[in-house]
Structure 1
Amino acid sequence: MRQKIFTLEKSYREGARKLQEAGVPDAKLDAWYLLEHVTGVSRAYYLGHPDQEMDEDQEEKYQELIARRQQRIPLQHLTGEQYFMGYPFFVNEHVLIPRQDTEILVEEASKYLKPGMRLLDVCTGSGCILLSLLKLFPEVAGTGCDISDQALKVAKENAKRLDVPGVCLVHSDLFSEITGNYDMIVSNPPYIPTEEIEKLQAEVRLFDPMIALDGKADGLYFYRKIIKESTRYLRLGGRLLFEIGHDQGKAVAGLMEEAGYSQIMVKKDLAGLDRVVMGMYNKE
């Protein structure tokens, strides 16, 4: 028998209190997003009907999700969704959660893409970079590759969700299964130095896939490999664009210059930190 009646407001306040006590960042915001996810109510409806009673199933589901968020399970793993470039991407524990910083990479790549070009996304994960670019440029031929079969399943689901039918998704250890030449290669590879991973917030350290975080000893392992191998797959005049850690711009730019790239630029994110390195390949 139901012992306690919860209204929308009481449920939200109780959820926010529990998350705050657990030390969850943005506790009030997360409590709201979970309430919205469970009930489907908008902020405007909530403000107009705070005393509306939640049904028992909704109440139980909400309290269950609050308890899981208290364990620092990422909000996006609980809702199964994260918006990126304005598109709703499905996410789970097998892929990195798309982050706003990565939108800088999409914005920079979009300055150079043209209809008819061929685009390759290395370490595609959820497919957020590749699929966002293909939504912007539907006449571009896009391929994404990843070493994780589980990540590719997520990317395929997102291609279906976003109605990008022509995308090619390949199980590949970097370029091992890639053929042909491309006008542009983009990548957000693992770039966290191994010893730094333990210092990350719990949501990342405990729940993001380690294979997508660990950039080996100095964080540059995958940049070295991708830069070295990319020249066999880029057409002359083609461009390579990376997301980078805030302190990796100079090092990655130097690696690209050594490999024959020119017009190398480092772009900053909204916080003023280095976020993207790009260059054009022109070495015969």
Structure 2
Amino acid sequence: MWCRNVLRTRTVYNKPAILACLQCLTNNNLNSVTLKHPARRLFVSDARECTIGDVIDQWSRRFESEGVQEPMKSIEHIVAHVIGTKKMVDILNVRNDALTASQIEKLESLCESRLSSPCRMPVQYIVGEWNFRDITVKLVPPILIPWPETEILVDVVVKRLSSLQADSGEIIEIGCGSGAISLAVAHACKGMKFTAIDKNLHACDLTTINRDNLNLTKQATVIHANLKPDASIEVLSSSNGADNVDLNSKLFDFVISNPPYVPTKQIPELQPDLRIYQDPRALDGGDDGLTVIKSVLKYAAKALKPGGRLFMEVHPTHPEHIQSFTNNYPDLKLYHEHSYKDSCNNDRIVEVVKVI
């Protein structure tokens, strides 16, 4: 699991570069990327003798020599995509397997794209999809990449549903991005109904594609809508069931969110190989990183049923502020019940309960 100390890797993007990369990925034509390095066809002529282990070893060395961050992880994920495995542990079991000439050609094209793209396009965008918990979601820039830390949020929600023996219920996700969170929970909990909203229309379109690909259409409704600072929800386009629900009066069993939580001043310090690709609106949490979080808390206070729960992924410094916020505003009837740690032992997920 990739560790993100204190901050998740969240960055700023450059619109022209994003549009070029998005067009390239949309056309499914990675070979059209202008290569900074001449393509080196290392293995095609020796396809019969080329093994997965050979590919991993040679490309990881090349990635490392050319300054690609996490070179081994990069090639392992590209190989996993090419051979069609969803679990990285499977790579260890197939190192001695041979690759076909077509697999090698595809792999080399993806690897050269990783080397050639501006500021090293993240491998998630290179392969165009990502394994998240038990599902695979399509990804395109600038929609936020779901990191392993976010899987903890899904685990916490699924475990809480199990402990409550909740066979049915309604959940709203604020800021769905690719839809990974809602769709992963929906995949694990077939009786739950989901409303996923995002102010980015492209995010809503991507969530809809992922929902349909996962056969979760009956469980999830995707709405182009924005949570405003006053904790009201503004529907931005009337489609996909938006006309059939009033999100400012409807009650939910759970609210889940991975809101922008990086303090504005810390965004320039983030990892450069992602800086131009991800949408800053999904990253920038304001001066203290709590701007959107406070709106989510206020919305949860009116949208949760008594005994309902809010789950959020936050910055490690935020849980104590969230606890103070709920204590200072007793009229909200919210109680900070627990904070959960990520793989780096940082507080990352908060669970807040609507007091009965």
Query: Where does residue 350 of structure 2 map in the other structure?
Result: 277
- The secondary structure found in structure 2 opposite 1:218 is coil
Matches within 5 A, 1:32-51: 32-38=76-82, 43=91, 47-49=96-98
Matches within 5 A, 1:54-203: 57-58=105-106, 61-62=109-110, 64-68=112-116, 71-113=119-161, 114-166=166-218, 167-174=220-227, 175-177=233-235, 178-179=247-248, 180-203=250-273
- Name whichever of 34-43 and 18-27 sits farther off: 34-43
Cα pair distance change 1:36/1:102, threshold 3 Å:
closer
Stretches of structure 1 that go unaligned for 5 or more consecutive residues are none
Cα pair distance change 1:5/1:228, threshold 3 Å:
closer
- The secondary structure found in structure 2 opposite 1:206 is coil
Conserved 8 A contact 1:194-1:218: yes
Stretches of structure 2 that go unaligned for 5 or more consecutive residues are 1-38, 228-232, 236-246
- The secondary structure found in structure 1 opposite 2:302 is coil
Conserved 8 A contact 2:336-2:350: no
Cα pair distance change 1:227/1:200, threshold 3 Å:
same
Cα pair distance change 1:115/1:80, threshold 3 Å:
same
CA distance in 2, matches of 1:40, 1:135: 20
1:267 aligns with 2:320: no
Conserved 8 A contact 1:191-1:219: yes
Query: Where does residue 19 of structure 1 map in the other structure?
Result: 63
Query: Where does residue 14 of structure 2 map in the other structure?
Result: none
Query: Where does residue 296 of structure 2 map in the other structure?
Result: 226
Conserved 8 A contact 1:190-1:215: yes
Query: Structure 1, residues 207-256: CA drift from partner, whole Å, max 9, x if none?
Result: 22111101011100001111122222111111111111122110122223
The amino acid of 1:47's aligned partner reads N
Select the structure with the greater relative contact order (CA < 8 A; seq sep ≥ 6): 2
Conserved 8 A contact 2:114-2:122: no
Query: Where does residue 243 of structure 1 map in the other structure?
Result: 313
Cα pair distance change 1:270/1:14, threshold 3 Å:
closer
The CA RMSD over aligned residues, in Å, is 2.7
Of 210, 225, 228 in structure 1, the residue corresponding to residue 280 of structure 2 is 210
Cα pair distance change 1:40/1:101, threshold 3 Å:
closer
**Percent identity for Structure 1 against Structure 2:** 24
- Name whichever of 264-273 and 219-228 sits farther off: 264-273
Q: TM-score, normalised by structure 1?
A: 0.87
Of 320, 325, 330 in structure 2, the residue corresponding to residue 255 of structure 1 is 325
Alpha-carbon distance, 1:152 to partner: 0.8
Query: Structure 1, residues 157-203: CA drift from partner, whole Å, max 9, x if none?
Result: 11112110121111111222324110110100000011101111123
The amino acid of 1:136's aligned partner reads A
Conserved 8 A contact 1:266-1:276: yes
Alpha-carbon distance, 1:111 to partner: 3.1
**Equivalent pairs, count:** 281
Conserved 8 A contact 2:144-2:178: yes
Cα pair distance change 1:137/1:62, threshold 3 Å:
closer
